Structure 1
């Protein structure tokens, strides 16, 4: 808000002559006579300082940091409007409560000679208003209104009424006298009235709504008190405290300003309605004006207290000159003549305010630069946190492409095992997936077989207790009951000792029945690993949470398709292993089957013959012949093979066992390569899909502009925040430049 102003010549320079002497306004009756209001305070240096503050105000920097300002505060009905009228000569409507419902800023600016006096009226919106509401208030002007008109009482009343209507709504209920307080309470919007002319004294002052009597339960009391506290807490506010002569202790403002740590130096007191003081009573009024710290320490002010006598009800139509004459005669009375005349009357008050303001501005300037720099750094951080602006298709496309470039570079490293540029171990996709595959392999080896295949040692242990080789077949068939039952269940046209081919297929399905469950669980785990790595990579490539969520949602359909394809691929593998032919070209399969048979014979020879020769077969126990000797191994094999049923069972078992040893590793490898590598880690997988080529294919061109905007377009609230921050940055940067270039003259 503009609170301190300085006059300019038509070319923007300061109005002083070539010798550097300040040129005062043309002499005329009233406030603007040379010297009557302390033009000695407006020397070259002071005017330059005021010019700087005024420039900062025009840049709008007062929205972001505190600038020097004069504010008038006080309780309701203490005559703040009368004081304003006395100081500004603008005829505020006395006792009109409407003007106390929102702050009013009065700005007086001196213009170059021969320029006409002009009036400007505007509203500064509440900072918490919506953008639409702010625009509505900023666009408001009273109608009809002539900028060259005089600010008489009728004009002022009309301005306040129209401002009241736009701020609170024209439908607000009013009392019949138009002076009743609306139920809508108070507003933080500010009515600004600027008067610019060659006879003005550079001056600005803010009138704050009066403190409403009541307590914390009264909403208007709270609002008024909060508004007053806001201005009081501004360390660069010059506070004009207005009280009347009724009762000092009942005026709440007297307690509020004393809580300020620097109250003595930036508070100036005004005792209004001095003509209503009763003789020989209310002597505290004199004590305040004397401002003796030894007599009235609690209310002592460095700038002092001033007494005013304003127009009475019967004098409302009198001129300013008549008002000044009455005031001068009043203070010449016996009670008041004992006081310092420099503390009595509106002219003395205004002169003191100008002096105090100029000094306050001079003291404030050195602190502004560091505060502007701090605000500027904070503003820049907030802008950086919003990311790049996304208001055009080009900006949106460029942003998405940049994110895709950053993401794909990191994702390639994650998949290929190059982790140098990665920032978190959750992004080490290749390592984590290898861990998952190792767990899958271990689980397959542990749970992948429905019924364990019988080892050669187990066969030997079964027949070891038997007395005769004739007992081997019955004993062994007991341990292979699950195979024997399957052979019997599927008996068909095969000869004795033969096995129906369907038996191995059915037994195989039974043996690998858990593969689907184990592989599905492993696939889910790999998908989780990929998702977590993907999320971590996205978080690094795209810090903007909202945009990141939109991008991931946009890619989700293609991610889902890849996951579906991986599951279809897994089902193909399962189907091939479960329902296909038990076939392998692997060279170890035949050797493995022979190895199982040979191991069984060797185990039986070791346990049943060599350890106990008395239990050996008759042929094996005889002295070996020199010609046609029959070895023990051949005898054992012939015993096992001579029983057709046992031969069929053992042959089926050994075939399945040999095939299983080949098939389980083949399935583990196929799962890793065809399901995980081909799909989840393939070119269309979640970690490889989001590339610049993909973005171009999906989002480039006018036909994709709408989808691009939906995806990367900036949220309106963010766009407005960015606009506000950019405006703040521009204001602060220009303000910083102005302050840095300011020279002490």
Structure 2
């Protein structure tokens, strides 16, 4: 009869699916499995033979050089099939050759098995003899020997046997590198979170010093996946040592969640006993008075061990099967995404030009979304928020406008008529500007330091009038009651001297944002580093630099136009501002002359005597009147010029030259670029290197294996 926990077609099918997945050897998927680990002299082979009925030949070098997967299944016909599962990184030719190895026997004698193992070793390129110096041979291999055992008495069990760890190399057969390779192989199997670790430990050695337990502890820190199997109890001669072993078996010693089992190995000189005979001998051994305390415990002997392992494997498989399926689906999608990222094969000019054309098309699609703010149009904006270009530029422009309004004037221009000044951007959130040191190609184009515009002195009202007086006294002509245009030009240029660093810093920061956008978007649309680097270095960066220079030059041109020469405007707003300021000055003077006047209804109002009007409008020196007129004209013109200038900088230097114009750096990567690439440069840019070809081949193989795995899981 089948074991209760392994009974039923559903359970059998589930275990068969895991075995088929293991045969596909998908390196990224961890499968539920039992792995037998231990030192070379721990009795590991004897335990495996008792568990599976498979007896490795007793010849040096035949069975310890690679992992062996032994699967037992109940079927009517008795048969043993031996094949090779190629290592995950084997090339197609090697993998195909290794898969051709297949041997089927119904009656497996030791001599027949020895010959099969020798053939398998030759297929895997295993060095059989210390003196064999044939090129290309290796002592250990990452290929897997697969042994399938079927028969009417078998119960479903699959175990992985890995080479026993050793401590002293035996050159030339084994070297220090071989020692480390074996340890790494064993550790990698144990670290699989879906692996039950069967640690084989000789009972006649100090359990506390067994390194295999230390390795298991590293892989399974909580001890929830590790089971200890004690061997060679017949070699334990001291009562104290025997009591220690009993405590472990009964759960009174150092605990593992899966506990300890104990089995008796085949004797060193025993070559002819059958498995049934050894089981009977084992039962008799543990009924000896020295071991009788644990004889009735279901952790004593190969029978209870095999039943427990079968249960564990079934429970683990049921628990992990949905997770295995989810992992396969996830890895399949990721592999397809990576393959899509490197694109189709680029063996000829047509394919290469099409490849770059597709990159350009995606780049321009994302750029259009980034400029229009339609971020729901592409998933990239969720992955890389820094690509929300227009949002970042808008925030920078608003900060620039705020700084111009609040800080860009040299001296404070305070007037009651300014109280209506707009507060549109007073609470704008600041965007983060890329570090200029990130892109050395911009160092000679942009202003590297982030200019922090200082606040004007709030107590400089008197100083401004004094400054106007000095300019007037130094530049006055024969004008009567008026002043020359040069006086307004001089005062305006001095009042706007912070404009230049403020503008150049703003345009520089905007260039950094645009450059960062282009670089990051290119990284996204072109994951192939070789293509990306060639495009960037040979086709893009120099052209970008030219266009950034145009933007900076235009900003400097606008500064010269606005700040140099005679101030000029055709905006009627200027005259309205001048009149408002004059009226405000008259109003302030009249209010100072006001007296309280009591009405008949016992209320009072402020009244201005008519005699005071002449003092307000007449009694003022010519120079005083001119200085006031200069101040009014300066304040009015500054306000008109500032508003005009901020808009022009944002619309032209930023909007046109950096974002929307025909010479915008965002339009460097365009269809014209694809058509302009000559044949030689096309091959240099888009031709595939060996690494890309290998990556595509590996991804295609991974996808095929994962798709095959999905067929198994859904079958």
| SS, match of residue 659 in structure 2 | coil
Question: Aligned partners of 1:282 and 1:479: how far apart in 2?
Answer: 110
CA deviations 1:164-207 (Å, max 9, x no partner) are 759xxx9xxx96699xxx9x9x9793532446899997875432
Counterparts in 2 of 1:510 and 1:726: CA distance versus 1, 3 Å: same
1:124 aligns with 2:98: no
- Aligned equivalent of 2:653: 679
| SS, match of residue 20 in structure 2 | helix
TM-score when scaled to structure 1?
A: 0.54
TM superposition shift of 1:634: 13
- Aligned equivalent of 1:12: none
1:528 aligns with 2:505: no
| SS, match of residue 124 in structure 1 | coil
TM superposition shift of 1:391: 0.7
TM-score when scaled to structure 2?
A: 0.55
Question: Aligned partners of 2:247 and 2:402: how far apart in 1?
Answer: 89
- Picking from 555, 562, 568, the partner of 2:553 is 568
Counterparts in 2 of 1:102 and 1:528: CA distance versus 1, 3 Å: same
- Picking from 642, 646, 661, the partner of 1:668 is 642
- Aligned equivalent of 1:309: 266
Matches within 5 A, 1:712-727: 726=703
1:737 aligns with 2:714: yes
CA contact (8 A) 2:157 2:313 kept: no
Question: Aligned partners of 1:198 and 1:262: how far apart in 2?
Answer: 38
1:192 aligns with 2:166: no
Counterparts in 2 of 1:399 and 1:722: CA distance versus 1, 3 Å: farther
CA contact (8 A) 2:86 2:99 kept: no
CA contact (8 A) 2:493 2:564 kept: no
Question: Aligned partners of 1:402 and 1:595: how far apart in 2?
Answer: 55
Question: Aligned partners of 2:584 and 2:197: how far apart in 1?
Answer: 106
CA deviations 1:140-161 (Å, max 9, x no partner) are 7499x89589755466357558
Counterparts in 2 of 1:679 and 1:716: CA distance versus 1, 3 Å: farther
Question: Aligned partners of 1:189 and 1:535: how far apart in 2?
Answer: 45
CA contact (8 A) 1:593 1:657 kept: no
1:156 aligns with 2:117: yes
CA deviations 1:533-552 (Å, max 9, x no partner) are 88689989997897999899
CA deviations 1:581-611 (Å, max 9, x no partner) are 676667899999999999999999xx9xxxx
CA contact (8 A) 1:566 1:676 kept: no
Counterparts in 2 of 1:434 and 1:414: CA distance versus 1, 3 Å: farther
* RMSD over equivalenced CA pairs, Å: 7.2
- Aligned equivalent of 1:56: 21
Q: Indicate the structure (1 or 2) with the bigger Cα radius of gyration.
A: 1
TM superposition shift of 1:102: 4.5
- Aligned equivalent of 2:69: 105
TM superposition shift of 1:67: 2.0
CA contact (8 A) 2:493 2:563 kept: yes
| SS, match of residue 375 in structure 1 | helix
Question: Aligned partners of 1:264 and 1:209: how far apart in 2?
Answer: 23
TM superposition shift of 1:681: 0.8
> Greater shift after overlay, 699-708 or 79-88?
699-708
- Aligned equivalent of 1:3: none
Query: Aligned residues, how many?
Result: 587
Matches within 5 A, 1:362-511: 362-375=314-327, 379=331, 389-392=341-344, 397=357, 401-402=361-362, 404-413=364-373, 427=391, 429-430=393-394, 432-447=396-411, 482=471, 485=474, 508=489
CA contact (8 A) 2:204 2:233 kept: no
TM superposition shift of 1:697: 4.1
Counterparts in 2 of 1:289 and 1:162: CA distance versus 1, 3 Å: farther
> Greater shift after overlay, 559-568 or 378-387?
378-387
CA contact (8 A) 1:50 1:358 kept: no
- Aligned equivalent of 1:470: none
- Could you list the runs of 5+ residues in structure 2 that have no partner in the other structure? 106-110, 169-175, 345-350, 376-380, 414-465, 593-613
Question: Aligned partners of 1:367 and 1:219: how far apart in 2?
Answer: 38
CA contact (8 A) 2:69 2:158 kept: yes
TM superposition shift of 1:518: 1.6
Question: Aligned partners of 2:586 and 2:253: how far apart in 1?
Answer: 118
TM superposition shift of 1:696: 3.7
| SS, match of residue 120 in structure 1 | strand
CA contact (8 A) 1:515 1:574 kept: no
Question: Aligned partners of 2:6 and 2:574: how far apart in 1?
Answer: 109
- Picking from 201, 206, 209, the partner of 2:160 is 206
| SS, match of residue 83 in structure 2 | strand
| SS, match of residue 78 in structure 1 | coil
- Aligned equivalent of 1:72: 36
Question: Aligned partners of 1:46 and 1:594: how far apart in 2?
Answer: 95
- Could you list the runs of 5+ residues in structure 1 that have no partner in the other structure? 1-34, 126-130, 416-420, 450-476, 489-496, 608-630, 641-645, 739-745
- Aligned equivalent of 1:519: 500
Counterparts in 2 of 1:541 and 1:68: CA distance versus 1, 3 Å: same
> Greater shift after overlay, 676-685 or 251-260?
251-260
TM superposition shift of 1:522: 2.4
TM superposition shift of 1:433: 1.8
> Greater shift after overlay, 370-379 or 517-526?
370-379
Matches within 5 A, 1:603-618: none
TM superposition shift of 1:483: 5.1
Question: Aligned partners of 1:188 and 1:592: how far apart in 2?
Answer: 89
| SS, match of residue 105 in structure 1 | strand
Question: Aligned partners of 2:185 and 2:165: how far apart in 1?
Answer: 9
Question: Aligned partners of 2:166 and 2:563: how far apart in 1?
Answer: 87
Question: Aligned partners of 1:569 and 1:374: how far apart in 2?
Answer: 57
